[in-house]
């Protein structure tokens, strides 16, 4: 499989670069800038991309590369810091921008030399997204200037003979018009990519590899019903079928019909599907607990116990499978020591279950690729395009103490909200949306009678990373319809409020 290496210098858009490359059907991996050149060479990439980064190349201690990378003969595209790094290493000069006019932030009208391979087929002028305080005072020998803005004569440089290109702006962000075409040009015109990264191919290769690795071994997987664990399960089911056991723990705080939907989605495979109805067990533990962190701890702890019991019934397993995805394992080039984020979908499991090895069949995939793979495997759309759902489930959406009655009220209300959003097509504009059962009761009037029932809050947000989020501007008429349906159809709720706080200062969930 042909491959692009993305060398990470700690910029904020680095994963986005990787996603863009893969969107162009070329496989890529992100490596920290500290990765030794021999290791990079061993990966045999067809091209390299240097990312942006927060530092200045001329300062001591700034992230650098082994200069031999420039004599290796592999094409390089440098973005922002990466562009300055090329200039700095090959005899150019990078300095702090002397006056504010040479410093550029935000959308900038840029003129391109469309004779340069990078800008081939593009309009001569377009908006680019700039974010740099340093300036290339002298361009290295052999390089031509291939783009300019009114503030800056050298927005892009190219040495087409050696296949080195540098841009001061960020082609990977949506704000840069035609940015994806520039990346595609680098991949196809400069690196001569064939574009062999497609999900159908990936699926077949992954299945073959899993079969080879697992042999006749037994595999155990904790299936949460979320996108990642479901796709991992489907891939393993396709690969090794009856050697796979999936344990789905229903803690009683799932959404309406969720357990049935998950079970149904896996009915077509010949695997051991263990569905544990643990509702009463979880509710007993949670009775009278209203502190959010305690709820989380109780659920996490109990989950492990239930899973462990089921694992014992299965007997010795060879592999424990997890739905870890690429953003969870990516190493960052920021800081001195490379930080590896380790993430387990179900915290702590490996300590409790006896197994020989962990397999993570999705660890090279981004979320949208995981969804695509799920579709290739024939999982239903409602499962693969599902919004995130927290491990503790409705427990952190029922404010205060949890009872089955409250969980049932919330399940029905949440179902109506989701159904109406989907019917109106509004779900496509939202990244997460759900209902919260507050523990506030208020007086209402229904028919001729007085009511004293719960207040339900609706929450809907748009976000790209879930670290910050905006409350969604859902049309009033739609909110009105949802509100009308819920108070009429769900007993126990007589008032609906809509949450109009962003994150920060609020969080997405209420607990
Ligand atoms: P907050 O509420 O922190 O949520 O803005 C950010 C994202 O994380 C999800 N979330 C959780 N997921 N276990 C999970 O697996 C949890 O305890 C948990 N708490 C929040 C939340 O749904 C949102 O997508």
* Contact between residue 258 and residue 285 where contact means Cβ atoms under 8 Å apart: no
Q: Which residue's alpha carbon is nearest to atom 9 within ligand 1?
A: 390
Residues of CATH 3.40.50.880 domain(s) within the chain? 3-190
Indicate where the chain has its CATH 3.30.300.10 domain(s).
397-498
What pLDDT score does 287 carry?
Answer: 97
Tokens of residue 34, six digits: 């500290």
pLDDT value at position 351? 62
User: Average pLDDT, stretch 249-278?
Assistant: 96
From 296, 466, 467, the mutation candidate for ligand 1 (largest count of ligand atoms within 8 A of CB) is 466
CATH no., domain 199-384:
3.40.50.620
Distance CA 272, CA 245 (A): 5
Tell me the pLDDT tens digit for each residue of 385-405: 999 999 999 999 999 999 999
- Verify whether ligand 1 is closer than 6 Å to residue 392 (CB atom): yes
Please report, rounded to a whole number, the percentage of residues in the chain having pLDDT higher than 70. 94
Burial profile 106-136: b = 16 or more Cβ within 10 angstroms, e = fewer: eebebbbbeebbbbbebeeebbbbbbbebbb
Q: Apex CA 30: angle with CA 24 and CA 34, to 5°?
A: 150
What is the CATH code of the structural domain delimited by 397-498? 3.30.300.10
CA-closest candidate to residue 86, choices 109, 67, 108: 67
Task: Tell me, in angstroms, the distance from the centre of ligand 1 to residue 308's CA.
Answer: 24
Predicted pLDDT at 345: 42
- Arithmetic mean of pLDDT over the chain: 92
- Tokens standing for 211? 């079969």
pTM for the predicted model, two decimal places: 0.84
> Which residue puts its alpha carbon closest to atom 20 of ligand 1?
390
User: What is the architecture, at CATH level 2, of domain 3-190?
Assistant: 3-Layer(aba) Sandwich (3.40)
Q: Please indicate whether residue 80 is annotated as part of the active site.
A: yes
CA distance 151 to 130: 11
Spell out the residues 6+ positions from residue 174 whose beta carbon is closer than 8 angstroms to its own.
Answer: none
- Helices and strands (H, E) in the chain, number of each type: 15, 22
* Active-site residue, from 2, 24, 28, 80: 80
Active site (annotated) includes residue 343 = no
Compute, in angstroms, the gap from residue 390 CA to the centroid of ligand 1.
Answer: 5
């Amino acid at each position: 499989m042909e491959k692009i290496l993305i060398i990470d210098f700690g910029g904020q858009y680095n994963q986005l670069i990787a996603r863009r490359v893969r969107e162009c059907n070329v496989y890529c991996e992100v490596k920290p800038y500290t990765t030794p050149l021999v290791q990079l060479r061993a990966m045999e990439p067809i091209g390299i991309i240097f990312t942006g980064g927060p530092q200045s190349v001329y300062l001591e201690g700034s992230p650098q590369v082994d200069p031999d990378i420039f004599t290796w003969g592999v094409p390089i595209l440098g973005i922002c810091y990466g562009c300055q790094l090329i200039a700095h290493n090959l005899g150019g000069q990078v300095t702090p921008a002397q006056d504010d006019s040479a410093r550029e932030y935000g959308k900038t009208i840029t003129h391109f030399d469309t004779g340069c391979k990078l800008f081939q087929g593009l309009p001569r002028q377009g908006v680019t997204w700039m974010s740099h305080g340093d300036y290339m005072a002298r361009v290295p020998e052999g390089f031509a200037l291939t783009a300019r803005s009114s503030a800056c004569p050298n927005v892009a440089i190219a040495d087409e003979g050696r296949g080195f290109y540098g841009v001061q702006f960020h082609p990977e962000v949506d704000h840069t018009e035609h940015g994806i075409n520039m990346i595609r040009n680098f991949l196809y015109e400069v690196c001569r990519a064939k574009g062999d990264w497609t999900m159908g191919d990936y699926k077949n290769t992954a299945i073959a590899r899993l079969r080879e690795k697992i042999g006749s071994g037994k595999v155990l997987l904790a299936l949460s019903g979320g996108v990642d664990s479901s796709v991992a399960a489907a891939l393993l089911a396709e690969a090794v079928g009856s050697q796979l056991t999936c344990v789905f723990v229903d803690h009683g705080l799932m959404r309406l019909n969720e357990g049935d939907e998950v079970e149904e989605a896996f009915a077509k495979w010949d695997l051991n599907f263990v569905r544990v109805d643990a509702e009463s067990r979880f509710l007993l533990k949670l009775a009278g607990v209203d502190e959010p962190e305690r709820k989380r701890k109780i659920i996490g702890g109990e989950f492990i116990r239930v899973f462990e019991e089921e694992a014992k019934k299965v007997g010795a397993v060879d592999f424990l499978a997890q739905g870890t995805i690429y953003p969870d394992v990516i190493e960052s080039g920021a800081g001195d020591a490379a930080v590896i984020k380790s993430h387990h979908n179900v915290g702590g499991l490996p300590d409790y279950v006896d197994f020989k090895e962990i397999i993570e069949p999705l660890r090279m995939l981004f979320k949208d690729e995981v969804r695509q793979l799920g579709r290739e495997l024939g999982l239903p759309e409602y499962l693969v395009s599902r919004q995130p759902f927290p491990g503790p489930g409705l427990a952190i959406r029922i404010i205060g103490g949890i009872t089955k009655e409250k969980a049932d009220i919330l399940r029905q209300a949440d179902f109506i909200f989701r159904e109406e959003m989907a019917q109106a097509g509004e779900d496509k504009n939202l990244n997460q949306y759900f209902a919260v059962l507050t523990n506030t009761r208020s007086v209402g009037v229904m028919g001729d009678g007085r009511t004293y029932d719960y207040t339900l809050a609706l929450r809907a947000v748009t976000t790209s990373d879930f670290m910050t989020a905006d409350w969604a501007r859902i049309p009033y008429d739609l909110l009105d319809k949802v509100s009308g349906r819920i108070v009429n159809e769900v007993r126990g709720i007589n008032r609906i409020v809509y949450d109009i706080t962003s994150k920060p200062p609020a969080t997405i969930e209420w607990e």
